[in-house]
């Protein structure tokens, strides 16, 4: 009987000792409960960089870079790669919603890829259509500033947990429709990119080549082989131009490579939507700037600015 009582007392003492270990004094004298991690239970962490939407984003980057490689001389390959990269923009959003893998990193990756891809294409168009270079420069500037200011305003005024696509109707009904209606967003981005791709294809169907850019060709047989619509190989380019990678050589290689009918149809069809998209960029820039200004006014009032000068 005494032995049983002794064993029971020992068990109670052991239980009390375990409680004292679980609740130990912290360095500041306050008691704290030992976390599961301290007890040896390791929490499983997620690798954001390997989320499916982000993997699709990496694929978009690879396709965009590949399209840039083929851009100077291979319009069909470049257009195909560039178009697939743009279409995957819709797929990564669907995957993020379905798999519950929407992340801030993914949103930034998506926006940066869009802005860089469009900018690179517009840079090429500036070289292909030098008369319109100021138009392409303005489009690049508008695209970058509009999205940067909008993203910054969202983070600064709405908080780090606010998505740049959450635009209240009271701020802008147009932006609210643009960002919340997936069909509107997809159509606007699709036709905007289609317009620039069509212009890119038109640069390969120009009937004009400046004679002043050429130097005399001694090989008459090679000269006779060159005609409008012919595929010009690198050996002929080296004979015609001191630098076969110069702007003139690339113009010669591109001239009349494609029929212009389909590109012109695409330009005409997509131009109205492209114009609307640029107007949305202007509205986005103005609204975001006003939002930041409202925040500045509140901050200045909170600091008692402007201070009244005492006479």
Q: Which residues are catalytic?
A: 114
Q: Where do we find the tokens 């402007």?
A: 306
What count of other Cβ atoms lies within 10 Å of the Cβ of residue 19?
Answer: 8
Secondary structure class of 23 (helix, strand, coil): strand
H-state helical runs in 172-302: 173-180, 182-202, 220-225, 234-240, 247-254, 261-302
On whether the CB atoms of residues 194 and 270 are closer than 8 A, the answer is yes
Residue 24: strand pairing partners: 32
Cβ neighbors of 88 (< 8 A, separation 6 or more) are 56, 59, 60, 63
- 10 Å CB burial of residue 58 (0-12, 13-18, 19+) is middle
48: which DSSP letter? G
CA distance 129 to 200: 10
CA distance 292 to 297: 9
- Reading the block at residue 167, the tokens are 């635009």
Please compute, for residue 96, the number of CA atoms within 13 A of its CA located in the half-sphere on the CB side.
21
- Reading the block at residue 175, the tokens are 């932006």
CA distance 96 to 30: 43
């Amino acid at each position: 009987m005494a032995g049983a009582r002794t064993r029971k007392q020992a068990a109670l003492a052991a239980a009390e000792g375990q409680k004292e270990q679980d609740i130990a004094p912290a360095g500041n004298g306050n008691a704290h409960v030992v976390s599961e991690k301290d007890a040896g239970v390791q929490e499983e962490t997620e690798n954001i960089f390997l989320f499916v939407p982000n993997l699709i984003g990496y694929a978009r980057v690879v396709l965009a870079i590949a399209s840039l490689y083929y851009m100077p001389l291979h319009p069909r390959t470049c257009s195909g790669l560039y178009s697939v990269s743009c279409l995957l923009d819709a797929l990564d959003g669907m995957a993020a919603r379905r798999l519950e893998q929407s992340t801030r990193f993914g949103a930034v990756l998506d926006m940066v890829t869009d802005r860089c891809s469009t900018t690179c294409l517009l840079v090429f168009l500036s070289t292909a259509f030098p008369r319109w270079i100021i138009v392409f420069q303005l489009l690049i500037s508008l695209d970058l500033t509009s999205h940067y200011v909008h993203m910054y305003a969202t983070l600064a005024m709405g908080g780090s947990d606010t998505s740049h696509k959450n635009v209240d109707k009271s701020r802008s009904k147009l932006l609210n429709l643009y960002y919340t209606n997936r069909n509107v967003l997809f159509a606007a981005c699709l036709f905007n990119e289609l317009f620039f791709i069509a212009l890119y294809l038109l640069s390969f169907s120009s009937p004009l080549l400046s004679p002043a850019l050429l130097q005399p060709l001694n090989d008459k047989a090679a000269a006779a082989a060159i005609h409008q619509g012919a595929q010009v190989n690198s050996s002929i380019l080296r004979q015609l131009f001191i630098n076969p990678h110069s702007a003139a050589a690339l113009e010669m290689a591109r001239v009349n490579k494609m029929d212009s009918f389909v590109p012109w149809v695409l330009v005409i069809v997509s131009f109205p939507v492209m114009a609307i998209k640029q107007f949305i960029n202007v509205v986005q820039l103005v609204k975001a700037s006003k939002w930041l200004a409202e925040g500045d006014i509140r901050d200045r009032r909170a600091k008692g600015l402007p201070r009244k000068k005492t006479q």
